[in-house]
Amino acid sequence: MAREKFQTLTEPMFYILLCLRRECCGADIAAQVGALTRGRLSLGPGTLYNLLDSFLQAGMIRETRVEGRKRSYLMTDRGREALEAEVRRLQTLLADYGRCPGGREEECT
């Protein structure tokens, strides 16, 4: 079930995994996501916690440190594979979009 859940990542999940290439804590992840998306995407603590918990359950990240309420995470090999698969999927979508003038299907046939 976890595998199906992550075959296509949502945008916040994609950016969280992108941030977790190095060890960091939840607050750092939220700040990095905001910076990467130029403030277009923000993650509240509840949403971030739920997504990180989903990643932990799926084996995509692991906890590396717990200091009080501050937890640090690191991406696993499985998480890297998911991120790389999503990057390839997005690149394919962009390439397909570029082949269609204006991105409209009817103009591509």
Domain presence at residue 2: no
pLDDT at 64 over 80: yes
Number of domains in the chain: 1
SS3 66: strand
Domain presence at residue 96: no
Domain presence at residue 104: no
Domain presence at residue 100: no
pLDDT (tens digit per residue) in 14-60 = 899 999 988 999 889 999 999 999 999 888 889 999 999 999 999 99
DSSP-assigned beta bridge partners for residue 74? 62
Domain that residue 48 falls in: 10-88
Report the CATH number at residue 41: 1.10.10.10
Neighbours of 75 (CB within 10 A): 22
